[in-house]
Amino acid sequence: MMCLIVIALFCQSGFGIPNAEQLMPFVILAVALLLIRMADKRAVKKTGLFNHEIVVRLEERGVRDLSNSGDTVVYWEYITQIADFKSHYFFITKGKTVIIVPKAAFADETTAKQFYAESLELWKKWKQ
């Protein structure tokens, strides 16, 4: 995409249509950026960061996050917003960190809606 923009700008600048020799640096740059991006994705997959089960529970004192990395509770008083998007629920904290809960993790849509309603109810108790 970036190469096409550069080519379009090159053509509009009055230099005419670039030849292969003029395009080669841009092609090399595009391939290098693509390889770096692919390597980054592979590195994240190899860490196992997203390859384990995470359990999120709603409690009177906050949202509990149980995973391979430990047991964390984010207290309701530190949550500034709970957002309902098309495929995920987001618990946004004062520190701008986010707990993301995919709706696909629930057995059905009704259970997901109950989770969201309960989280709002518990959160609003603490906001008062």
Residues 68 and 104 in one domain: yes
User: In this structure, are residues 101 and 89 in contact, taking their beta carbons and an 8 Å threshold?
Assistant: yes
**Higher-scoring residue by pLDDT: 43, 120:** 120
Query: Using one digit for the tens of pLDDT, what is the confidence trace for 47-104?
Result: 555 556 778 899 999 999 887 778 889 999 999 999 998 899 999 888 878 888 889 8
90 lies in the same domain as 30 = no
CATH of the domain at 96: 2.30.29
- Co-location of 25 and 65 in the same domain: no
Residues 40 and 96 in one domain: no
Per this entry, what is the length of the chain? 128
Closest among 114, 80, 112, 118 to 99, alpha carbons compared:
80
Tokens of 109: 């849509």
Q: What are the residues whose beta carbons fall under 8 Å from the beta carbon of 59, sequence distance 6 or more?
A: 73, 122
Q: What is the pLDDT of residues 30-39, one digit of tens each?
A: 766 666 666 6
76 and 23 part of one domain: no
Show the domain range for 70.
55-127
Q: How many domains does the chain have?
A: 2
